[in-house]
Amino acid sequence: MLNDSALTDPAPLFAALGDRTRLSLLAKLSDGESRSIAGLSSDTDITRQAVTKHLKVLEDAGLVISKKVGRESQFAFRPEPINDIRAYLDSVSRQWDDALGRLRAFVER
């Protein structure tokens, strides 16, 4: 089942990003090249199976997509959810900025 990238609840998205291993997987893939599990596992110290699990978390969050090609499955970065997160952060910051603005307006009289 593929993710809808709905911005209703950003928590799972943040959670998917809240792990160093997954961030470094994303970093590798963010150059736009797709890579196999073996390719992504080569320069880590954890097992290939562990990498597979992390990739599943990333895929469930919509941050990567995968397709089987031959005997290997290729993973690629999917940037859309990043915008959802940005939108969420913006909404929080905007609320904060508005509050600051009102406070300033209040103090300045």
Partner DNA sequence: ATGAAATGCAACCATAAAGTTGCATTTTAT
Partner DNA sequence: ATAAAATGCAACTTTATGGTTGCATTTCAT
Helix-helix angle 48-60:20-29, to 10 degrees: 80
Binding interface with its own copies (CB under 8 A): 9-20, 23, 26-27, 30-33, 77, 79, 82, 85-86, 89, 92-93, 95-96, 99-100, 102-103
From 86, 77, 81, select the one nearest 30 (Cα to Cα). 77
Which of residues 42 and 101 has its CB atom nearest to its own copies in the complex?
101
Q: Find residue 76's DSSP bridge partners.
A: 65
Which 45-104 residues touch DNA, going by CB under 7 A? Answer: 45-50, 52-54, 57, 68, 70-73
Shortest spacing between CB 44 and DNA, in angstroms: 9
Which of residues 6 and 15 has its CB atom nearest to DNA in the complex?
15
Q: How distant, in Å, are the alpha carbons of 25, 37, 72, 106 from that of 79?
A: 14, 19, 23, 41
Tokens of 30: 């963010």
Binding site for DNA (CB under 7 A): 15, 18-19, 21, 36-39, 41, 45-50, 52-54, 57, 68, 70-73
